[in-house]
């Protein structure tokens, strides 16, 4: 008889709700081993017994053959007495006080379920909630851990005999798939008219087919998804699209497009192999792609832009909306607008009653279902570009949410737990526990009660799920951000220490953490951004910082110019344009479009034109904070060139200026940088105005503007390398979402021998700021502990 050995194995990571226990069960059966496996609040626990050679094969196979949605962070094993189990079993879950384990994000329907969805012989044929352990909702339905059905929003749906049998069979891919259901026992879908009470027009498959007909007829439908509702219409129906914009009060902000498959994407967009891989990944993000010049899609999908946001279907319901009763893809339309269903400035809506109350004036119909959404989670948005020397396109998140959150990032530091509350725009928060950084889903702009309430609910949910009790609250320096107020009020109420962090320091720290940099050696950080509260009270945003996690030194910046009207200047770029002219001593000549636009505005007070009022503000400094923001310089340039004088969404002027840039133009405007590395916009603006007067084309002027800023980045990096010996440059801040500027800057820096750190897992905009705050907080705690 062979001598038996035994091990206790503890596995941490994303190992629950992803088919990990049946994987272990079947792996043990293959190796003829005995013992048991179970979920705990901290991960997966195994006791396994058998001959040593088989045990070693079992251990080595776990990381090599693990389920596709799992992510193993650690495997620990130790020998135990060989008790000679009779078989291998799956035991009930065990709660471990204070323990935690990461949770899988929601993921797209898998190929097996997709095949069954369209198989007329299958139990779940055309069932919009088909799923298994390899796909479907996770984060948006879980209420608590361990991840078991009674602790999800599926607890109210009792399993039928067939589903129960699959749920209990370790050899079935639906073993302990918590959302598992079928038409006999699971959630239902129905269609309502927005003006006809709550009586369904149709249920089940007939509701989906009727929704198709209504969309094809030009109707706007609110459709309940995984982490919230979408507002949908036929993307090729220009009238429907314009009506949606009018009702949603969204005149110009781009709308997301859902296409049925990659073939359709190729029809409308220019798409490379790496972009196709990302589009078809289990995360199914929105990806910004160049539209084909001959595309039949209306320009109103993304006015003033060459790129459109495209995603593929990711739920069974989405696939059914693109199919008839016999075939996919076959529907009375070829593309759908799928934009987040919310009122302007508010979070995405998740509840049926909420939608009835708030979207009745926007949507004609509601496609509801009765699987509750525990926590909101908007679509993720990614963008990419080829970079010199990179084998694959550089693709990074503009918004990290569905498909990625709450999958933890690995922090380069480890400390006691903390909460970093982010900034105001594109808010996320970040909890840390040990070396895990749990970056939240995208929550939106934290400017009103509704978004603050969503923020607070999400913070509490994360702390419950991951068993976190923060010992430090980290916030932005800006005293009036709602996130800052939340942190300070909670600090006082609960006796938790707080730490204030400068906005652009957090940006550079976020980039370092995104690259798993230890932070031991400082870098030159170029924080090119919209707005951030500076330690001198000015509005920063064009910064050269020498930084690590402990501290920063400001070693250069854009020369200050006034921002007349403060926040109003962000919405009205003509104000920045005239302020830049004023600060440079350039007369307000009406031949410049920004000046002509200001002259056309009605009087703000009797006898006082907006132009005169602005001049008075600039002379006295009234409500005209000084700024070094490159984002506002982009605004000024766009308005001076007549591209955009007012905006309806953040960054619109800069985005439209970028969209015009001629990719082959190589010229640039001269630079003027002081010995203290303060760079004046004077030569840049003078060059723009000269070219404009000489009728140089806008694409060439735009390209020269971008080229000049890339040259500026190189010049600053060269000076700092000479003075301080730094050869690494970190690029962070919302301006670096500009692919034209990023490509040019990267090429120049790499060509000059610099190592360039870019964002890869979190956004360079304020959506990644909380990660930077968190690692700065971890560094602080490590020094204090």
pLDDT above 70: residue 470: yes
pLDDT recorded at residue 195: 81
Mean pLDDT of the region 585-612: 90
pLDDT tens, position by position, 628-638: 999 999 999 99
pLDDT above 90: residue 14: no
Which of 108, 130, 107 has its CA nearest to residue 117? 130
pLDDT recorded at residue 99: 66
Instruction: Please indicate whether residue 556 or residue 607 has the higher confidence score (pLDDT).
Output: 556
pLDDT recorded at residue 345: 83
Mean of the per-residue pLDDT values of the chain: 94
pLDDT above 80: residue 376: yes
pLDDT recorded at residue 702: 98
pLDDT tens, position by position, 70-95: 889 899 999 999 877 889 999 988 77
C-alpha separations of 173 from 69, 110, 134, 271, 499 in Å: 13, 11, 8, 33, 47
* pLDDT band (50, 70, 90) for residue 380: very high
pLDDT tens, position by position, 51-70: 999 999 999 999 999 988 88
pLDDT recorded at residue 32: 94
Helix 630-640 and helix 573-583: axis angle, to 10°? 100
Mean pLDDT of the region 761-773: 98
Residue 107 is given by DSSP the state B
pLDDT tens, position by position, 252-309: 999 999 999 999 999 999 999 999 999 999 999 999 999 998 899 999 999 999 999 9
Residue 783, SS3 per DSSP: helix
Say if residue 686 is exposed, middle or buried (CB neighbours under 10 Å; 0-12, 13-18, 19+).
middle
pLDDT above 80: residue 516: yes
pLDDT tens, position by position, 428-450: 999 999 899 999 999 999 999 99
pLDDT recorded at residue 327: 73
Contact 696, 653 (CB under 8 A): no
Question: Before 247, cis peptide (omega within 30)?
Answer: no
pLDDT recorded at residue 691: 97
Q: Which residue shows structure tokens 């200001």?
A: 598
pLDDT above 90: residue 43: no
Mean pLDDT of the region 556-560: 97
pLDDT recorded at residue 362: 97
pLDDT above 90: residue 608: no
pLDDT recorded at residue 154: 97
pLDDT above 80: residue 393: yes
- Percentage of the chain surpassing pLDDT 70? 99
* pLDDT band (50, 70, 90) for residue 427: very high
pLDDT above 80: residue 197: no
pLDDT above 90: residue 47: yes
pLDDT recorded at residue 640: 97
* pLDDT band (50, 70, 90) for residue 405: very high
Please list, in sequence order, all residues whose beta carbon lies within 8 angstroms of the beta carbon of residue 465, skipping any fewer than 6 positions away.
100, 103, 142, 144, 145, 406
Mean pLDDT of the region 28-41: 92
Could you list the beta-strand ranges (E) of 365-504. 365-369, 381-385, 394-399, 409-420, 430-439, 472-476, 497-501
Which of 205, 207, 215, 302 has its CA nearest to residue 252? 302
Q: What is the 3-state secondary structure (H, E, C) of 361-382?
A: CCCCEEEEECCCCCCCCCCCEE
pLDDT above 80: residue 363: yes
Mean pLDDT of the region 740-749: 97
Q: What is the 3-state secondary structure (H, E, C) of 584-612?
A: CCCCCCCCCHHHHHHHHCCCCECCECHHH
Which of 356, 323, 335, 349 has its CA nearest to residue 230? 349
pLDDT above 90: residue 40: no
């Amino acid at each position: 008889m062979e001598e038996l050995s035994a091990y206790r194995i503890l596995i941490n990571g994303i190992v629950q709700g992803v088919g990990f226990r049946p994987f272990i069960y079947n792996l043990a059966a293959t190796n003829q081993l005995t013992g048991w496996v179970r979920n705990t609040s901290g991960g997966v626990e195994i006791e396994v017994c058998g001959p040593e050679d088989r045990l070693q094969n079992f251990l080595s196979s776990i990381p090599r053959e693990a389920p596709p949605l799992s992510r193993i962070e650690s495997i620990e094993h130790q020998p135990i007495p060989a008790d000679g189990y009779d078989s291998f079993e799956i035991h009930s879950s065990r709660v471990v006080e204070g323990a935690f384990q990461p949770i899988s994000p929601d993921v797209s329907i898998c190929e097996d379920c997709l095949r069954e969805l369209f198989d007329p012989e299958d139990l779940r044929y055309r069932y919009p909630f088909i799923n298994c352990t390899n796909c479907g909702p996770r984060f948006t339905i879980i209420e608590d851990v361990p991840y078991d059905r009674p602790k999800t929003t599926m607890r109210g749906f009792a399993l039928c005999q067939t589903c129960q049998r699959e749920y209990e069979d370790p050899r079935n891919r639906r073993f302990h798939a918590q959302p598992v259901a079928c038409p006999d026992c699971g959630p239902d879908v129905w269609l309502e008219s927005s003006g006809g009470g709550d009586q369904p027009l149709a249920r089940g498959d007939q509701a989906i087919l009727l929704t198709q007909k209504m969309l094809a007829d030009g109707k706007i439908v609110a459709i309940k998804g995984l982490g919230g509702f979408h507002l949908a219409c036929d993307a090729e129906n220009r009238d429907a699209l314009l009506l949606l914009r009018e009702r949603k009060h969204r005149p110009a902000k781009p709308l997301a497009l859902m296409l049925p498959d990659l073939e359709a994407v190729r029809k409308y967009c220019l798409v490379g192999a790496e972009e196709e891989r990302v589009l078809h990944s289990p995360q199914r993000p929105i990806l910004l792609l160049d539209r084909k010049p001959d595309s039949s899609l209306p320009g109103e999908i993304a006015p003033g832009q060459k790129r459109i946001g495209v995603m593929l279907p990711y739920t069974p319901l989405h696939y059914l909306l693109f199919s008839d009763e016999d075939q996919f893809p076959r529907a009375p339309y070829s593309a759908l607008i799928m934009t987040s269903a919310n009122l302007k400035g508010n979070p995405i809506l998740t509840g049926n009653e909420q939608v009835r109350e708030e979207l009745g004036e926007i949507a004609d119909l509601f496609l509801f279902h009765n699987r509750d959404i525990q926590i909101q989670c908007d679509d993720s948005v990614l963008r990419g570009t080829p970079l010199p020397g990179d084998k694959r396109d550089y693709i990074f998140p503009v918004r990290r949410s569905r498909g990625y959150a709450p999958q933890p990032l690995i922090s380069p530091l480890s400390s006691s737990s903390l909460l970093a509350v982010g900034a105001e725009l594109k808010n996320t928060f970040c909890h840390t526990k040990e070396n895990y950084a749990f970056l939240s889903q995208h929550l939106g702009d934290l400017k009103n009660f509704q978004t603050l309430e969503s923020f607070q609910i999400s913070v509490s949910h994360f702390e419950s799920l991951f068993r976190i009790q923060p010992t430090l609250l980290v916030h932005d320096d800006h005293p009036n951000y709602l996130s800052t107020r939340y942190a300070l009020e909670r600090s006082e109420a609960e006796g938790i220490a707080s730490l204030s962090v400068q906005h652009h320091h957090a940006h550079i720290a976020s980039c370092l953490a995104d690259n798993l940099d230890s932070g031991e050696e400082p870098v030159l950080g170029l924080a090119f951004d919209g707005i951030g509260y500076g330690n001198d009270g000015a509005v920063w945003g064009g910064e050269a910082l020498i930084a690590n996690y402990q501290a920063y030194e400001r070693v250069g910046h854009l020369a200050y110019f006034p921002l007349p009207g403060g926040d109003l200047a962000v919405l009205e770029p003509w104000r920045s344009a005239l302020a830049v002219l004023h600060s440079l001593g350039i007369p307000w000549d009406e031949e410049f479009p920004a000046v002509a636009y200001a002259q056309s505005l009605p009087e703000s007070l009797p006898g006082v034109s907006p132009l005169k009022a602005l001049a008075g503000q600039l002379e006295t400094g009234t409500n005209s904070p000084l700024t070094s923001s490159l984002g506002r310089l982009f605004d000024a340039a766009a308005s001076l060139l007549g591209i955009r004088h007012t905006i309806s969404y953040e960054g619109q002027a800069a985005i439209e200026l970028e969209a015009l840039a001629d990719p082959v133009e190589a010229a640039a405007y001269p630079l003027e940088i002081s010995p203290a590395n303060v760079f004046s916009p004077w030569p840049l603006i003078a060059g723009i105005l000269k070219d404009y007067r000489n009728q140089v084309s806008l694409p060439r002027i735009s390209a020269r503007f971008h080229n000049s800023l890339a040259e500026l980045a190189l010049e600053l990096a060269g000076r700092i390398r000479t003075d301080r010996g730094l050869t690494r440059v970190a690029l962070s801040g919302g301006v670096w979402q500009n692919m034209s500027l990023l490509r040019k800057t990267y090429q120049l820096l790499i060509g000059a021998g610099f190592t360039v750190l870019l964002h890869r897992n979190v956004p360079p905009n304020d959506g990644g700021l909380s990660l930077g705050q968190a690692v700065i907080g971890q560094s602080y705690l490590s020094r204090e502990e």
